[in-house]
Amino acid sequence: MQSKDPNPGHLAIAECEARLHGQGRRVVVITQNIDELHRKAGTKNLLEIHGSLFKTRCTSCGNVAENYKSPICPALSGKGAAEPETEDARIPVEKLPRCEEAGCGGLLRPHVVWFGENLDPAILDEVDRELTLCDLCLVVGTSSVVYPAAMFAPQVSARGVSVAEFNMETTPATDRFRFHFHGPCGTTLPEALAGHETETVS
């Protein structure tokens, strides 16, 4: 993932956030993505509800730390192909990545939400606060079938807030939204989020 760059959609969101900030307005990105491409694009107000591939969490003490090393430990060099037929890497447990907090040494895992795990309640509280304040919602490139995130935009729409969906196809939630922009987000978002001469600058 470190070799990947944000696409024009990520960049358009970050540029829109910066422009609106200069007008005294606020943009918050709530993402299920774990790739940090929004952050790399320059987005500042970011809630990563499924965590980040570039953070580790200790399975013993719970410490969360940024980790951009690739691989995160020497034993993982050349390992990690995610193909179904890949054989077990058979890495001895003592060679796996370990917590560097004083006196801990617990096993590290990615700080991401895996299927079947609960989302961080503190992040969900932040999301709930932002959805309550939201006066426009963009739903970008999602299937709208992964819960609880699939309910965020319909919840906002039910309050009468305009929701615009940007996607290659319609989703189970499309009919609940005021707008649907069909096409690649890297094409539709830059045009939709570009500055306009009628914008008020404070």
User: Closest Cα to residue 42, out of 69, 67, 17?
Assistant: 17
- CA 121 to CA 113: how far, in whole Å? 12
Residue 110 contacts residue 96 (beta carbons within 8 Å)? no
User: Judging by DSSP bridges, how do beta strands 163-167 and 137-140 pair with one another?
Assistant: parallel
Locate 78 and state its tokens: 């050349």
DSSP secondary structure of 141-186: S--S-STTGGGHHHHHHHTT--EEEEESS--TTGGGSSEEEES-HH
50 is catalytic: yes
| 185 assigned binding-site residue | no
Say whether 61 counts as a known binding-site residue.
Answer: yes
- Is 58 annotated as belonging to a binding site? yes
The reply, when asked if residue 16 is annotated as ligand binding, is no
Catalytic residue selected from 10, 21, 38, 50: 50
Catalytic annotation, residues = 50
Residues contributing to the annotated binding site for Zn(2+): 58, 61, 99, 104
Residues contributing to the annotated binding site: 58, 61, 99, 104
